[in-house]
């Protein structure tokens, strides 16, 4: 809107466009950084969420660029018409100088306000992207910590299972030894009784 309403001259519009191009270049870089971060994610759901965020930012940037081009075209047409009107009206040199000074002062004010508005908008976009990246980084750390805990618990469970199996085997071995000792003891007792009671057998 500030570019569309820029009263001129063309040099003021050029300066304003240069500032906007720089902001778009910076925003494009931030979007690329976010896209690279998305590709580095291990979890597919987080990767897809980041890619959707990247796609939304790209669409918004393309929409802003289209509006920016339309505003430039409208502003240039308005400046051209304004210059033609000034030539046709035949204003004197002093009036033209006065008008130019006023136009420059107004243009400077408009440019400053426009730059501040664009800066605020870009800062908000960058802040949102940084918050999104921070949230995803925190989620990744939490998932990694939970995964480590699960691995530790799995190791403990496996160790417990091995110990239980070992104790079960030992218990079975002990029962077998007791049974064999008891059988040997009974056999010995029977043998002694046989020799005492029935020595002739």
**pLDDT digit string (tens) for 92-110?**
555 666 667 777 888 778 8
Residue 57 placed within a domain: yes
Per-residue pLDDT, 182: 93
Residue 188 placed within a domain: no
Per-residue pLDDT, 94: 58
Residue 13 placed within a domain: yes
Residue 81 placed within a domain: yes
Per-residue pLDDT, 114: 79
**pTM of structure:** 0.37
Q: How far is CA 41 from CA 14, 44, 46, 133, 148, in A?
A: 41, 7, 7, 11, 18
Residue 112 placed within a domain: no
Supply the range of the domain harboring residue 34. Answer: 1-91
Quick: pLDDT tens for 67-90.
Answer: 878 877 777 777 777 777 777 876
The HSE-up count of residue 120 (CA atoms within 13 Å, CB side) is: 5
For the chain, what is the domain count? Answer: 1
Residue 187 placed within a domain: no
CB atoms within 10 A of CB 75: 22
Per-residue pLDDT, 185: 94
Counting as low any pLDDT under 50, the low residues of the chain are none
Per-residue pLDDT, 178: 94
Residue 54 placed within a domain: yes
Residue 23 placed within a domain: yes
Quick one: the chain helix, strand, coil %, rounded to 5? 90, 0, 10
């Amino acid at each position: 809107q500030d570019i569309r309403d820029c009263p001129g001259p063309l040099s003021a519009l050029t300066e304003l466009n240069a500032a906007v191009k720089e902001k778009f270049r910076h925003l494009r870089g931030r979007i690329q950084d976010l896209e690279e971060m998305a590709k580095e994610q291990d979890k597919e759901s987080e990767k897809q969420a980041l890619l959707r965020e990247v796609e939304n930012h790209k669409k918004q940037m393309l929409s802003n660029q289209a509006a920016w081009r339309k505003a430039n075209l409208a502003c240039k047409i308005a400046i051209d018409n304004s210059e033609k009107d000034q030539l046709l009206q035949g204003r004197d040199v002093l009036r033209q100088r006065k008008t130019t000074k006023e136009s420059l002062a107004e243009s400077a004010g408009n440019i400053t306000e426009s730059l501040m508005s664009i800066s605020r908008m870009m800062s908000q976009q960058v802040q949102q992207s940084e918050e999104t990246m921070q949230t995803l980084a925190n989620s990744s750390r939490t998932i990694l910590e939970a995964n480590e805990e699960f691995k530790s618990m799995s190791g403990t469970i496996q160790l417990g299972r091995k110990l239980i199996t070992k104790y079960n085997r030992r218990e079975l071995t002990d029962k077998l030894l007791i049974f064999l000792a008891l059988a040997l003891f009974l056999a010995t007792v029977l043998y002694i009784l046989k020799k005492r009671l029935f020595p002739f057998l």
